[in-house]
Amino acid sequence: MATVVAGLFIGAHGADEAMSPQTKISVFNTLETGAFLANTFIFLMIGITTPIGDLLRYADLIAVAIPLVLLSRATGLYPVIAVVNRISSSDISLDYQHVMVWSGLHASIPIALVLGLPPELDAVLRQRLRALVFAVAAFSLLVQGLSMKRLLDRLGVVTTSEAQELYELLLARRRAVDGALDAAEDLKQRGDIPGGVYEDFTTEYESERDDLGEAINELLREHPEIRQEQKLAGERRLLKQEKSAIMDAIHEGIVSDAAGERLLEEVNIKLDRVRSGETTVEADEEGYHEFWRDEAADFGLESVEYPEEEREESGE
């Protein structure tokens, strides 16, 4: 568990704060290669230690084991999702639940576990378990994995539209360009590149960044559903940041628990509205009337003004 926590911490923070771009590329490529080699070794070992004859010999057990594995996943997933749908503001549709059941692939971990069975275990039982695990893993990867796209199409579950794919492509390229510009600035500050070369880099990348910005804006104008989705996603992140700042203020004693709880309650209301697909931010008018405005106005602060329509409703 300590290794897992250390890996999560390094992957989440260390990669961004303590690694240069070249180091990050080298480390991630090394880890991907190591994971590939480990998976390859596991499948080779299970193939070597499980003769084809065992699969045929235990075909009747395998025919029972595969449906039981799927049934056990369905039995554990559908009731849990039903409970989550009752307590959550956003429901997971039945079609998505079917996809979640069918996408439960089994591969490296169960194979590694069955290969680690103690040698004193009965030889026949060990062979039987290896054959069952290998057959279930093979069915999972070859049948479930390869049929996933067909299942998504049949259920009408559209994961990403062409416009969304293009938006993600443009967004990723813009982030790459921004990263290159930041790297060029660092190189210039350290004196690793002359000024003329720096200007060549920045001219090229800034021109591309402007073109990407225009392309993204045009795409968002033509597909307002993407703009709305990105707006809601960004709003969720900002509101969570608001919530974190308020909690820090409470813990540090900057604000009282009573005031902090009222602010947190309001942020939670906004988050619920955003999760339901309703934005609280408008370009031309106030999308959400925060309670602090009423408190300040009632106290007599003249710098706080009601929106015009609310002023008329209140008779002021």
The whole-number pLDDT of residue 314 equals 46
Asked if the model's pLDDT at residue 316 lies above 80, the reply is: no
Asked if the model's pLDDT at residue 261 lies above 80, the reply is: yes
Residue found by looking up tokens 């008329």 in the block: 312
For residue 96, tell me if it sits in a domain.
yes
- Whether residues 117 and 103 fall in one domain: yes
- Whether residues 24 and 148 fall in one domain: yes
For residue 5, tell me if it sits in a domain.
no
Confidence of residue 315 (pLDDT cuts 50, 70, 90): very low
For residue 268, tell me if it sits in a domain.
yes
Both tokens of residue 20?
């240069």
- Whether residues 192 and 241 fall in one domain: no
pTM above 0.75, yes or no: no
- Nearest in space to 260 (alpha carbons), one of 296, 292, 299, 306: 292
- Whether residues 234 and 292 fall in one domain: yes
The average pLDDT across 218-232 equals 89
The whole-number pLDDT of residue 312 equals 47
- Whether residues 24 and 138 fall in one domain: yes
Helices (H), the chain: 2-9, 15-17, 21-49, 52-57, 59-87, 94-102, 108-115, 123-139, 148-155, 162-190, 195-222, 224-251, 257-275, 291-299, 308-314
Residue type, 107: A
- Whether residues 148 and 27 fall in one domain: yes
DSSP type of residue 280:
S
Give pLDDT tens digits for 264-278: 999 998 888 888 888
Calculate what percentage of the chain has a pLDDT beyond 90. Answer: 28
Asked if the model's pLDDT at residue 309 lies above 60, the reply is: no
Using CB atoms within 10 Å of the CB of residue 267, give its burial: 0 to 12 exposed, 13 to 18 middle, 19+ buried: buried
Q: Are 178 and 203 in contact (CB under 8 A)?
A: no
CA distances from 232 to 11, 24, 84, 95 (A): 27, 31, 22, 24
Domain boundary among 114, 134, 155: 155
Q: How many CA atoms lie within 13 A of 176 on its CB side?
A: 8
Decide which of 115 and 169 is more confident.
169
**Dihedral (CA of 121, 123, 127, 129) sign:** negative
Domain boundary among 222, 239, 263: 222
For residue 7, tell me if it sits in a domain.
no
- Whether residues 211 and 238 fall in one domain: no
Residue found by looking up tokens 């499980």 in the block: 50
- Whether residues 217 and 286 fall in one domain: no
For residue 113, tell me if it sits in a domain.
yes
Q: Which residues contact 254 (CB under 8 A, 6 or more apart)?
A: none
- Whether residues 141 and 254 fall in one domain: no
Number of domains making up the chain? 3
Asked if the model's pLDDT at residue 242 lies above 70, the reply is: yes
Provide the mean pLDDT of the chain.
84
- Whether residues 94 and 190 fall in one domain: no
Measured from the Cβ of residue 198, the count of other Cβ atoms closer than 10 Å reads: 16
For residue 200, tell me if it sits in a domain.
yes
Q: Which residues contact 27 (CB under 8 A, 6 or more apart)?
A: 15, 19
- Whether residues 125 and 25 fall in one domain: yes
Enclosing domain of residue 199: 162-222
CA distance 134 to 277: 44
The average pLDDT across 198-217 equals 92
For residue 43, tell me if it sits in a domain.
yes
- Whether residues 31 and 98 fall in one domain: yes
